[in-house]
Amino acid sequence: MVESPTASDNKQSWWCATWFRCLLVIAALVVLYVPALQSGFTWDDDEHLTQNPCIIGPQSIADIWTTRAARICPLVLSSFWLQHQMWGLSPMPYHLVNVLLHAGAALLLWRVLLALRVPGAWLGALLWALHPVQVETVAWVTEMKNTQSGLFFLAAILFYLRLLRGEGRNGTNYALSIVFGLLGMASKTSVVVLPAVLGLCVWYVEGRVSRQRLVKLIPYVLMALAASALALWTQDLEGANDPQWQRSLPQRVVTAGAVVWFYLGKLAWPHPLVFVYPKWVVNAASLLWWLPVMGLLATIAFTKRWRGVWLALLYFIIALGPVLGLLDHYFLRYSFVGDHFQYLASIGPLALLGALLSKLRRWAPAMVLAIFCVITWHQQRLYRDPEVLWTHTLQHHPTCWLACNNLGILRYKEGHEEEAVQLWEKALESDPRSARTLNNLGYVHQQHGRAQEALALYERAIENDPSFGGARYNYGTVLLALGRIAEGLVQLEKAAEITPRDPNVQLNLANARLFSGDAPGAMRALERTIQLSPAEVAPLNNLAWLLSTLPDASLRDGGRAVALMTKALDLTSPPTLQTLRTLAAAHAEAGNFNEAIKTASRALEEARRQGNAAMANSLQNELAAYRQDTPVRFSQTR
């Protein structure tokens, strides 16, 4: 007798098929993104990860949550901190985590589309996961902000849909949805659109949004308001509200209309995909610039009769809300659009495409997926290293000042100064107010001893961007070199206020304070430098010298000076003349003149061997004092 399958057999078969699809998506994306796994770090990865003091030290993970270092993504920075503890700064694991997060988001999207009963849910999720426009997010380590926040965003939606469908325990689904929503907003504040998206889901599932449902959305709205406040604050700190980037309300509205159509166009025809697209010259007085807005409104009105199409379109616009250009954000200084900004928004149109393709013969969606895979594989080469990225950007956007500026920095570090200067001058043609480019050109003049030319460029940089600490730091160092101590000190003090975590600024600030007669202030700056950069020898040496030689006895501490120099010697092999000289002074201040004589004699012998007459003369005088059991006192000639 032939027995029919039981319910348990069907359930087991369903779970097997589900797990198989999950593993298939993960494996396929890992294989597809092999070029990204072989890439290094690129633009902005330094600020977020490789040079972030909250991650690599000396600050800690606590500073991510308690200071302005949080930026708009404290949970992502915390994830970077955790990864750094596990595998340091090897780029491959970071890329792999990003790919796996993207795969996880794709699987959650599949479940969300199933919960919404969207036709072709599996295909829609695949189209979204494999689309070339996602490469910028998945291949760029910094944009783990997108993949991590996207994972939590979709999880929040999925559990809310389970609540709407009455699946499982309502209280548990509601609590998990709120928790994942909070985690998403802590990963990236673009998830503040979640309350509106959930409201849209309620409308789609139930046909209306009741008062009861609105009440349940209140916690999400409160979270979104808090996250939005954080985003506006951090964007303001980073210069998003700079007056030179201000636009009128009509300009913002017409820009928003153009942005929506631009992103739809890139989804339909993903070529070329450029890291920084040319920035439009918006003319709100022209009727042509209002056509995209009017076309968008007409499309919304026309598609209302098809609930699925309307859902996809409204979701797309809502998810793009934070980056439409209606509100200021930092990237607007470079361009009004960027591929990574539509990571979550692209779900709507691509899910709709999946629903349409699912009604065709299998070869049609298979061909579309194959095309996406080929372009996605090819697109990843741009993120191999910064040079490839900026070179490609200039091929499609020759006047991109950001690309010119950053490629110029790479050329300068490679020793191609002339080419670097040409790129920076080209950048200034595109943006004459670029403080960073002016600063770079000023630095070249400074290195060649052209102090007045350097000062003029630094002054222009500071005038255009008073909050740019790099220009103030360089300006201050040139003023110090010219003997204009008071002026230099003012600039370095301001630089330290703007970039309080830069050890170089603190070190030079210490010198300026010392030359101006503020020894205690100099010592405080050196203490701060050591805190920020504990493995640097120069601040250890300089502070130990002051602790050993200052005329004011209340400021001297021979024991501390010896401890500092012991640490400095552990960091230098073989020891330098300067460290030996300072160690000898420290021993003398501590009253251990035998060690002082021994160390100074060793340094004197080495100075003579090297032919360093000035150092030999200083050591000979200090050695004579040690033989008389007399410590040395501060001299600005060091």
490-491-496 Cα angle (round to 5): 100
Q: How far apart are CA 408 and CA 441, in angstroms?
A: 10
Domain boundaries, the chain: 24-241+339-383, 433-534, 537-638
Residue-wise pLDDT tens digits, 280-298: 999 999 999 999 999 999 9
Going by the DSSP 8-state scheme, the letter that residue 350 receives in this structure is H
Residue 341 · residue 213 · CB < 8 Å? no
Burial class of 151 by CB neighbour count within 10 A (0 to 12, 13 to 18, 19+): buried
- The answer to whether 433-534 and 537-638 have equal CATH topology is yes
Q: Which of 266, 273, 259, 271 is nearest to 389 (CA)?
A: 273
What Rg do the C-alpha atoms of the chain give, in angstroms? 30
Residue 144 · residue 79 · CB < 8 Å? yes
Residue 637: pLDDT over 60:
no
Residue 270: pLDDT over 80:
yes
Residue-wise pLDDT tens digits, 370-391: 999 999 999 999 999 999 999 9
Residue 240 · residue 334 · CB < 8 Å? no
Residue-wise pLDDT tens digits, 155-180: 999 999 999 999 989 999 999 999 99
pLDDT, mean of residues 285-313? 96
Residue 241: pLDDT over 70:
no
Q: What is the DSSP string of 383-401?
A: GS-HHHHHHHHHHH-TT-H
Q: Residue 1 — very low, low, confident or very high, per pLDDT cuts 50/70/90?
A: very low
Q: Which of 614, 592, 598, 599 is nearest to 569 (CA)?
A: 599
pLDDT the model gives residue 234: 75
Helices (H), 67-207: 74-87, 91-115, 121-130, 135-138, 144-165, 170-187, 194-206
Q: Which of 532, 453, 530, 521 is nearest to 492 (CA)?
A: 521
**What CA–CA distances, in Å, run from 336 to 255, 257, 260, 273, 283?**
8, 11, 11, 14, 14
Going by the DSSP 8-state scheme, the letter that residue 191 receives in this structure is G
Residue 240: pLDDT over 70:
no
Residue 541 · residue 565 · CB < 8 Å? yes
Going by the DSSP 8-state scheme, the letter that residue 554 receives in this structure is G
Structure tokens that stand for 221 in this block: 């709205």
Q: Residue 347 — very low, low, confident or very high, per pLDDT cuts 50/70/90?
A: very high
CATH topology (fold) of 433-534: 1.25.40
Q: Residue 635 — very low, low, confident or very high, per pLDDT cuts 50/70/90?
A: low
pLDDT the model gives residue 71: 76
Q: How far apart are CA 572 and CA 130, in angstroms?
A: 51
> What CATH class has 537-638?
mainly alpha
pLDDT the model gives residue 461: 97
Residue 2: pLDDT over 50:
no
Helices (H), 342-414: 347-357, 363-379, 386-396, 401-413
pLDDT the model gives residue 237: 61
Residue 142: pLDDT over 50:
yes
Encoded amino acid at 210, one letter = S
Directed axis angle between helix 91-115 and helix 144-165, to 10°?
20
Residue 471 · residue 465 · CB < 8 Å? yes
Going by the DSSP 8-state scheme, the letter that residue 50 receives in this structure is I
Question: 59-85 b/e with 16+ CB inside 10 Å = b?
Answer: bebebbeeeebbbbbbbbbbbbbebbe
pLDDT, mean of residues 246-264? 96
What end-to-end distance do the CA atoms of the chain give, in Å? Answer: 101
Q: How far apart are CA 377 and CA 297, in angstroms?
A: 36
pLDDT the model gives residue 53: 86
Residue-wise pLDDT tens digits, 526-575: 999 999 888 899 999 999 999 999 999 999 999 999 999 999 999 988 89
What is the reported pTM?
A: 0.90
Residue-wise pLDDT tens digits, 401-436: 999 999 999 999 999 999 999 999 999 999 999 999
Q: Which residue has the higher pLDDT, 472 or 242?
A: 472
Which residue is it, tokens 């298979």? Answer: 366
> Residue 470 contacts by C-beta under 8 Å, 6 or more apart in sequence?
436, 439, 495, 499
Residue 529 · residue 521 · CB < 8 Å? no
pLDDT the model gives residue 15: 74
pLDDT the model gives residue 67: 76
pLDDT the model gives residue 558: 96
Residue 520 · residue 557 · CB < 8 Å? no
Q: Residue 8 — very low, low, confident or very high, per pLDDT cuts 50/70/90?
A: low
**What CA–CA distances, in Å, run from 185 to 142, 158, 159, 274, 500?**
16, 16, 16, 27, 27
Residue 584: pLDDT over 70:
yes
Sign of CA dihedral 240, 379, 437, 496: positive
pLDDT, mean of residues 440-469? 96
Please state, rounded to an integer, the average pLDDT across all residues of the chain.
93
pLDDT the model gives residue 638: 41
Length of the chain: 638
Residue 439: pLDDT over 80:
yes
Map residue 634 onto helix, strand or coil.
coil
Structure tokens that stand for 546 in this block: 């002051």
SS (H, E, C) 483-537: CCHHHHHHHHHHHHHHCCCCHHHHHHHHHHHHHCCCHHHHHHHHHHHHHHCCCCH
pLDDT the model gives residue 57: 80
Encoded amino acid at 621, one letter = N
Structure tokens that stand for 611 in this block: 């032919």
Q: Residue 34 — very low, low, confident or very high, per pLDDT cuts 50/70/90?
A: very high
Chain-centroid distance of CA 125 in Å reads 28
Q: How far apart are CA 281 and CA 78, in angstroms?
A: 38
pLDDT the model gives residue 232: 80
pLDDT the model gives residue 573: 82
